[in-house]
Amino acid sequence: MSLAPISAATFDPRATRIAQRLQEAGFQTVFAGGCVRDALLGRPPQDIDIATSAKPEEAATLFPKARFIGKAFGVTLISQEGAHFEVATFRRDVGSRDGRRPERIEYAPAEQDARRRDFTINGIFFDPIHEKVLDFVEGISDLQQRIIRAIGDPLSRFEEDHLRLLRAVRFAATLQFKIDPQTLAAMRTSAPQIQRISAERILQELTRIWTESVPPGTGLRLLQSSGLLREILPEIEAMVGVVQPPEYHPEGDVFIHTALALDQLHEPDPALAWATLLHDVGKPPTYREVQEDGKLRIRFDRHAAVGAEIADALLRRLRASNELREAVVHAVRQHMRFLDWPNMKVSTRRKIVAHPLFLLDLGLHRADCLASNGFLDTHEKAKREYEQLCAERPLPVPWINGNDIMQRGIPPGPRVGYWRQRAFDAQLEGQFASREELLDWLTETIKQNPDMNPAADEASPNPPRPTPKSDSSA
């Protein structure tokens, strides 16, 4: 693979002016990390990091408005014409305090600074003033060969910072690179250490893997082969080997189907990515075999409802936002209803199409179909009904939100989404003339049915309906 030629003009000129001023004062200064890697790959460099031999106090004498944002780690924030750049002093890290940060640092030459970094492709420096690439770690060779390789001893690199385990997967999946065998072996050995990383950081890395990988299923496969999946998402690891009826799923087991479904997405938003990952998470615990007409049949009874509960617990464990969690749980719970689309009443289909999360449901349905039988007839019909409804009138804004539900005694969880959907259904059907009337009904109904089970109500052919207080349409 040939790399792109780079020069000072490849980068933000404001960053170059900072480097020039530091060099004129006698300090070696380079651009470092991902921005150099991306430039060499022909990608627009983002988030330019500047590394220098100048200590924070020395940099501050040249840039009086500089701020120390990580002085213990030699990091200074320097502003230049409205842009902000992190300038870090060349250093080596000593010890590992918590699997994320060193116990202390020591200032060191540029070469040692390069060797403390995670992967060779991220250890390349570029001097924008002399327009010279500095490669102390053979990163250029690995870029050309499309390899993710830890710098030095991979076990030591992962011991210093456990988050590097997930970063290796993300870089390989987003750049379409291979992971070096020794690095992959060290990842398998070190995989249990990922549990020491905060849930928020794990969620952030996983979301980037699902939304930035090309294709997204690549990241899932790498997580599984590296041993990380069973450590952070055991509910997904449980899909491996769970067979499905071949007449509906010729592609293979539940894990294979899920990875293929992710592959159908192109730069998805986080809700669609997570919903696709989790849509069949209820299949492993509901798997059963039955004899019908002398044949062995596979069943996953109520796997959508069970999956919604698992998805809710999983996203809570990862500290996902309420907005993301509720959207994903809704999509998982509802993803099987498209099977009944041809037999639904027009009014029922209209109600589904008018739901604020319908496009999420539709996107998941498309990925689900393409990863199994490939038939998109129902998807196309549902899409046309949505477009027709949008052409007729704009979709209404829901009168009731999650806070309204929780203020009436419903704790955070699936029941909030259930009651919100009940309220929106009543609004769409014109059962109430105003938000106030709808709130009155909601308050009274929750009081009478505080423990309503969303899964049970979903299975009921005739769930309880609101009694209208007005004949006016919404």
The DSSP secondary structure of 76-129, one letter per residue, reads EEEEETTEEEEEEE-EEEE--SSSSS-SEEEE--HHHHHHTSSBGGG-EEEETT
From 389, 422, 437, the end of a domain falls on: 389
Would you state the pLDDT for residue 161? 94
Question: Has residue 204 been placed in a domain?
Answer: yes
pLDDT confidence of 393, banded at 50, 70, 90?
A: low
Whether residue 111 is contained in a domain is answered as yes
Kindly state whether residue 242 falls inside one of the protein's structural domains: no
* pLDDT for the residue numbered 473: 29
Residues 43, 118 within the same domain: yes
Q: Contact, 407 vs 381, CB < 8 A?
A: no
Same domain, yes or no, for 93 and 175? no
- How does pLDDT run across 357-368, given as a tens digit for each residue? 999 999 999 999
Mean pLDDT of the chain: 89
Q: What is the pLDDT of residue 123?
A: 97
- With a CB cutoff of 8 Å and minimum separation 6, the contacts of 453 are none
Half-sphere exposure of 375 (CA within 13 A, CB side): 9
Tokens of 175: 């750049």
The residue-averaged pLDDT of 101-110 equals 85
**Model confidence at 464, in pLDDT bands (50, 70, 90)?**
very low
Choice between 387 and 187, residue whose per-residue pLDDT is larger: 187
Q: Where a domain ends, among 179, 202, 232?
A: 232
Q: Is residue 435 part of a domain?
A: yes
- Let me know if residue 474 belongs to a domain: no
Confirm whether 465 is domain-assigned. no
pLDDT attached to residue 394: 63
What CA–CA distance (Å, rounded) separates 142 from 146?
6
Write the CB contacts of 415 (distance below 8 Å, at least 6 apart in sequence). 405, 452, 454
Beta bridge partner(s), residue 291: 296
Percent of the chain with pLDDT over 90: 68
Whether 140 and 158 share a structural domain? no
In the chain, the amino acid numbered 326 is E
pLDDT at residue 459, rounded to an integer:
37
Whether residue 437 sits in one domain with residue 345: no
Residue 427 pLDDT more than 80?
A: yes
- Are residues 218 and 298 located together in one domain of the fold? no
Torsions phi, psi for 339 (to 5 deg)? -60, -30
Q: Is the pLDDT of residue 405 over 80?
A: yes
Establish if 249 belongs to a structural domain.
no
Q: What is the mean pLDDT of residues 366-381?
A: 91
Distance of CA 324 to the CA centre of its chain: 10
Does residue 347 fall inside a structural domain? yes
Longest CA pairwise span in the chain (Å): 86
pLDDT band with cut points at 50, 70 and 90 for residue 471? very low
The reply to whether 208 and 309 lie within a common domain is: no
CATH number of the CATH domain containing 381: 1.10.3210
pLDDT at residue 455 tops 60: no
pLDDT at 17 over 90: yes
Percent of the chain whose pLDDT exceeds 70? 93
Q: Which has more pLDDT, 23 or 245?
A: 23
Higher pLDDT, 417 or 98: 417
Model-level pTM? Answer: 0.80
Judge if 370 and 416 occupy the same domain. Answer: no
Mean pLDDT, residues 158-185 taken together: 97
Q: Which of 365, 389, 413 is the last residue of a domain?
A: 389
Same domain, 174 and 208: yes
Residues 22 and 99 in one domain: yes
Residues 171, 192, single domain; the answer is: yes
**CATH number reported for the structural domain that contains residue 125 in this entry:** 3.30.460.10
Residue type at position 168: A
Looking at the structure, tell me whether residues 269 and 197 fall in a common domain. no
109 and 161 in a single domain? The answer is no
pLDDT tens readout for residues 280-309: 999 999 999 998 888 889 999 999 999 999
Question: Tokens 């003339």 belong to which residue?
Answer: 433
d(CA 124, CA 136): 7
**d(Cα 258, Cα 210) in Å, to the nearest integer?**
12
Query: Rounded mean pLDDT of 231-238?
Result: 98
pLDDT of 390 over the 80 cut = no
b (16+ CB within 10 A) / e for 367-398: bbbbbbeeeeebbeebbebbeebeeeeeeeeb
CATH number at residue 187: 1.10.110.30
Q: How far apart are CA 141 and CA 352, in angstroms?
A: 53
Specify the pLDDT at position 419.
87
How far is CA 171 from its chain centroid? 14
How far is 42 from 29, CA to CA, in rounded Å? 23
Distance CA 313, CA 318 (A): 9
98 pLDDT above the threshold of 70:
no
Find the domain containing 160 and state its range.
154-232
- Say how many domains are in the chain: 4
